[in-house]
Copies of this chain bind each other. A is one copy, B any other.
Amino acid sequence: MTETWATRAGLDLFLAPEAARGARPRRALEDALRDAVRTGRLAAGTRVPSSRSLAADLGIARNTVAEVYGQLVAEGWFEARVGSGTWVGERPRPAARPAPPERTTRPAADLRAGLPDGTQLPRSAWTAATRRAIEALGPGELGYTPRVGLPRLREEVAEYVARTRGVVARPDDVVVTTGFSETLALVCAALRASGARRLAVEAYGHERHRAIARAAGLDLQVLPVDDDGARVDLLDADAVLLTPAHQFPTGVPLAPARRVAVARWAEATDGLVVEDDYDGELRYDRRPVGALQALAPGHVVYAGTANKAFAPSLGVGWAVAPGWLVAELERIRADRGVRADGLGQAVLADLLATHAYDRHVRRVRVAYRERRDRLAAALASRVPRAQLRGLPAGLHVVVELPDGVAASAAVEAGERHGVLFEALADFRAAVPGIVGGADADGRCVVVGFGAPPAHAYAAALEGTVAALAEAAG
User: Which A positions have Cβ atoms within 8 angstroms of B?
Assistant: 27, 34, 38, 71, 73-77, 79, 89, 91, 93-94, 96-99, 115, 118-119, 121, 123, 126-127, 130-131, 134-135, 137, 139, 141-145, 155, 158, 162, 166, 168-172, 177-186, 208, 211-212, 215-216, 256, 259-260, 263-264, 267, 287, 289-290, 292, 294-298, 307, 311-316, 334-344, 346, 451, 453
Q: Is the CB of B340 within 8 A of A182?
A: no
A126 — which chain B residues lie within 8 A by C-beta?
A: 130, 134, 343
CB nearest to A259 among chain B residues: B76
How many Å lie between the Cα of A143 and that of B79 in the bound state?
Answer: 49
How many Å lie between the Cα of A145 and that of B312 in the bound state?
Answer: 8
Identify which of B178, B256, B264, B344 contacts A338 (C-beta below 8 A).
Answer: B178
Q: Is the CB of A142 within 8 A of B313?
A: yes
How many Å lie between the Cα of A346 and that of B263 in the bound state?
Answer: 42
CB nearest to A287 among chain B residues: B71
A183 — which chain B residues lie within 8 A by C-beta?
A: 337
Q: Is the CB of B119 within 8 A of A166?
A: no
Q: Is the CB of A314 within 8 A of B340?
A: no
A143 — which chain B residues lie within 8 A by C-beta?
A: 115, 118, 312-313, 451
Q: Is the CB of B75 within 8 A of A312?
A: no
A314 — which chain B residues lie within 8 A by C-beta?
A: 341-343
Identify which of B96, B185, B289, B296 contacts A168 (C-beta below 8 A).
Answer: B96
CB nearest to A75 among chain B residues: B290
Q: Is the CB of A297 within 8 A of B98?
A: no
Q: Is the CB of B168 within 8 A of A267?
A: no
Minimum CB–CB distance from A139 to chain B (whole Å) comes to: 7
How many Å lie between the Cα of A336 and that of B172 in the bound state?
Answer: 23
Q: Is the CB of A289 within 8 A of B75?
A: yes
Copies in the complex: 2
Q: Is the CB of A99 within 8 A of B215?
A: no
Identify which of B119, B166, B184, B298 contacts A337 (C-beta below 8 A).
Answer: B184
A71 — which chain B residues lie within 8 A by C-beta?
A: 287, 289
How many Å lie between the Cα of A294 and that of B289 in the bound state?
Answer: 58
A184 — which chain B residues lie within 8 A by C-beta?
A: 337
Minimum CB–CB distance from A199 to chain B (whole Å) comes to: 15
CB nearest to A211 among chain B residues: B335
Minimum CB–CB distance from A340 to chain B (whole Å) comes to: 6
Q: Is the CB of B342 within 8 A of A313?
A: yes
Most central of A118, A135, A169 by chain B CB within 10 Å = A118
* With known contacts A77-B294, A344-B341, A144–B312 Cβ distance under 8 A: yes
How many Å lie between the Cα of A296 and that of B90 in the bound state?
Answer: 10
Most central of A181, A264, A296 by chain B CB within 10 Å = A181
How many Å lie between the Cα of A23 and that of B79 in the bound state?
Answer: 84
* With known contacts A178-B338, A259-B76, A341-B340, A121–B137 Cβ distance under 8 A: yes
A-B contact pairs, 6 of them (CB 8 A): A76-B260, A76-B295, A98-B170, A123-B134, A139-B453, A216-B335
How many Å lie between the Cα of A290 and that of B37 in the bound state?
Answer: 14
A119 — which chain B residues lie within 8 A by C-beta?
A: 139, 142
A294 — which chain B residues lie within 8 A by C-beta?
A: 34, 38, 75-77, 93
How many Å lie between the Cα of A83 and that of B472 in the bound state?
Answer: 48
Q: Is the CB of A182 within 8 A of B341?
A: no
Minimum CB–CB distance from A217 to chain B (whole Å) comes to: 11
Q: Is the CB of A298 within 8 A of B94?
A: yes
Minimum CB–CB distance from A371 to chain B (whole Å) comes to: 17
CB nearest to A189 among chain B residues: B336
8 new A-B contacts, CB < 8 A, other than A96-B168, A145-B313, are A27-B287, A34-B290, A38-B168, A75-B289, A75-B294, A182-B338, A216-B335, A314-B342
Minimum CB–CB distance from A44 to chain B (whole Å) comes to: 11
